[in-house]
Chains A and B, each alone.
Chain A
Amino acid sequence: MGSRTDILNKIKANKPDKLALPTIDPYIFNEDLDLVKEFTKKVEVVGGNVYPISSLDEVTLKINTLLPNTHSNFSTLENTTGFNTISMDVIKRPHELEDLDVLVLQSGLAVSENGSIWVEDSVLPMRILPFITKHLVFVIDERSIVPYMHQAYEKINDFNFGVFISGPSKTADIEQSLVIGAHGALSLSVFLLK
């Protein structure tokens, strides 16, 4: 336990009188966004690409033209077994995914104001997947886009691990010049289902 009691007592003695907890009224921020338009704009701002689709069948076909000649592919979409070159059942350690080229994930929540997409471990056979893959592809139904983070958190319930992903990984740590592809995905594509 170490210093638990000491720390808590010190805080109790030093804290100010109780102040009220404000309530968040999301309506204040509302600007009647065109959710799809704003989401698309923001994904592009953060370095990703958005492709409208009208049926899930288009997904793997489109990926093959966008990212041809990949060796290691994995998708959690139904009916894409022909696309998958690896099976999660035989993967014992996350480390074995090091050469994964393309990962396709479905998400039920995306945020218009910042182009981010929520993924939680209920749809992830392994947590490392969206980070270790070279190319990350999301499939999202237009209707799962919410305007702001406030609405997003209303939809998030229980999870063990979850992440908002906004664009491919990036850094500007060398003289402030932006480089896409730091430790995570080198590219991010979003297929937006009408």
Chain B
Amino acid sequence: MSHPKLASIFNKDEQKVNWHDKALWFVRHKRDLSVHQVKGWETLRELGHNIKAHTLSNLDNYLVEFETNALKNGIQVHWAANAKEHNTIVHQILEEHGAKKVVKSKSMLTEECHLNPYLEDRGIEVIDTDLGERIVQLAKEPPSHIVLPAIHKNRHEVDKLFQEHLHTKPCDGDPQYLTQEARKHLREKFINADAAITGVNFAIAETGGFVVCTNEGNADMGTHLAPIHIACMGFEKLIPKQEHLGVFLRLLARSATGQPITTYSSHFKRPMNGNKMHIVIVDNGRAEQLGRPDFRKSLHCIRCGACMNTCPIYRRSGGHSYDATIPGPIGSILSPGKDLTKHSSLPFASTLCGSCSDVCPVKIDIHSQLYKWRQIITKETKQPFVKKKSMVFMGKLFSKPKQFERIGKIGRWALRSLPQSMINAKPNVWGKSRDLPKGPKQSFDEWYRNRMKKSQ
């Protein structure tokens, strides 16, 4: 289904949309307060951007350096070209050790590869341990946000889910109680797990180690209890040196939630005595994206979610309307590279206001890339007849100023004089769930000419 269709489903519950909109804007606001306190924030973003750009330009060598050092550290390194290979590798590791119970901390990559159903089909229990992820897992839904996976659910829905699955008492959606119960429930899972899977926030070529950031402590509870740790990373997670972590850890949490740093920034370098540590390096379309000069910068992304929180479309259409692992503005430039036809509506789910590019901690030109995808999609996929015709018509209109002025006059008159029922009639999509402004008497052009006359 296209983005507009899915968005209209989300929009049925107006109260929820309003809450969703405000809640995310609040997170964006916290980000603002936090970053404005950092002296040299723009320099920091610039550094983040340039370190990533440099890394991508030398990525093959850095990956080899990382692999060499990781092996020296006693970490086993695996390479996966696509989701299927990734899943097979993870399953093989688990099978070799007879691991049946797995705890997983947040990893968008394993979502992208659909690892959970793959393992579950093979008799392995996979428990998502981030609270938000556990909530959506119980609801059998994908996350709707990369940092706040259950932002589309209200407390009463969580209350009901927990009553059903964790046998909690009805609590009118008390977050304190629900979190406590989740802690107990997941504590038991941690204690009994045979293996822990995590994502990777940053992998360091120089040291062969990697960093995982969480607020809940779930990645650490999993990895330090279970004898096997499998870390899965898209290859763009690499950075050259440890000192670069100083830049990225300063950027990440402030951009994500406004915290000065996540509660836990865990640096894994060598496995504990007797334990096993594996890392799976995944391509799955990334090398191809690297080959697209207009879009390769999308690989700079550090998954902070800021572009989602700020996006006026995302806030009002919800993460599920994007029908992609990574929703929001960044998802809309990553997804078409994977499947242009399936995701052809996503680059249009934007006002091109540029707010995403403004908040992005690694300065990805998100809105310009959205615009570039539009050019490609319009050429390469079939466009609706009406849209095609109206584009030709508008093109002609805009090229003739006199005619444009005349039509503008009629338009403004219509907006002033026609009855509401006609203005908001079905063919006018701009009038859907929205009142159009009263048409002003003057056009901008006229106002400007008058002003010039007066000032002369």
A residues touching B (Cβ–Cβ < 8 Å)?
1-4, 6-8, 10-22, 24, 26, 28-31, 42, 45-46, 94-95, 98, 111, 113-116, 126-128, 131-132, 148-150, 152-154, 156, 159-177, 179, 181-185
Interface residues of B in 155-197 (CB under 8 A from A): 155, 158, 173, 175-176, 178-180, 183, 186-187, 190-191
A22 near B57: Cβ-Cβ < 8 Å? no
Segment among B117-125, B217-225, B351-359 that sits at the interface with chain A: B217-225
B57 touches A159 (CB 8 A): no
Determine whether the beta carbon of A127 is less than 8 Å from that of B272: yes
Q: Is the CB of A19 within 8 A of B215?
A: no
Count, chain B residues at interface, CB 8 A: 91
**What are the residues of chain B within 8 A of A114 when measuring CB–CB?**
250, 259-261
Q: Is B246 an interface residue (CB 8 A)?
A: yes
Query: From residue B287, how far is it (CB to closest CB) to chain A in Å?
Result: 4
Specify the main secondary structure of chain A where it touches its partner.
loop
A3/B180 in contact, CB under 8 A:
no
Question: Chain B residues with Cβ under 8 A from A160's Cβ?
Answer: 269-270, 272
- Does B53 have its Cβ within 8 Å of any Cβ on chain A? yes
The interface-forming segment of B78-86, B329-337, B408-416, B443-451 is B78-86
Q: How many A-B residue pairs have CB under 8 A?
A: 251
Tell me the complex Cα distance, A18–B50, Å: 12
Known contacts A15-B58, A28-B43, A183-B186; is-contact A148 B154 (Cβ 8 Å): no
Enumerate chain B interface residues (CB-CB to A < 8 A): 23, 26-27, 38-40, 43-44, 46-47, 50-51, 53-54, 56-60, 63-64, 78-81, 85, 89, 129-132, 135, 148-151, 153-155, 158, 173, 175-176, 178-180, 183, 186-187, 190-191, 215-218, 220-221, 224-225, 235, 240, 242-247, 249-250, 257, 259-270, 272, 281, 283, 287-288, 290-291, 293, 296
B39, B47, B63, B217: the one within 8 Å of A24 (CB): B47
Q: Which residue of B lies closest to A25 (CB)?
A: B43
How far, in whole Å, are A126 and B266 apart by their CA atoms in the complex?
14
A148-B250, A176-B148 given; A7·B287 CB < 8 A: yes
Given the known A-B contacts A1-B79, A114-B260, are A174 and B287 also in contact in the complex, defined by CB atoms under 8 Å?
no
A131 B217 Cβ-Cβ under 8 A:
yes
CB closest chain-A residue, reference B280: A2
Contact, CB under 8 Å: B224 / A173: no
Assess whether A7 is in contact with B290, with CB atoms less than 8 Å apart.
no
Closest to A151 in B: B246
What residues on B are CB-neighbors of A127 within 8 Å? 220, 224, 272
On whether the beta carbons of A161 and B131 are closer than 8 Å, the reply is no
Shortest CB-to-CB span from B193 to chain A, Å, is 10
A46 touches B260 (CB 8 A): yes
**Nearest 3 A-B pairs (CB), nearest first?**
A184-B217, A14-B291, A182-B216
B128 to chain A minimum Cβ distance, whole angstroms, is 11
> Cβ of A173 and Cβ of B149 under 8 Å apart?
yes
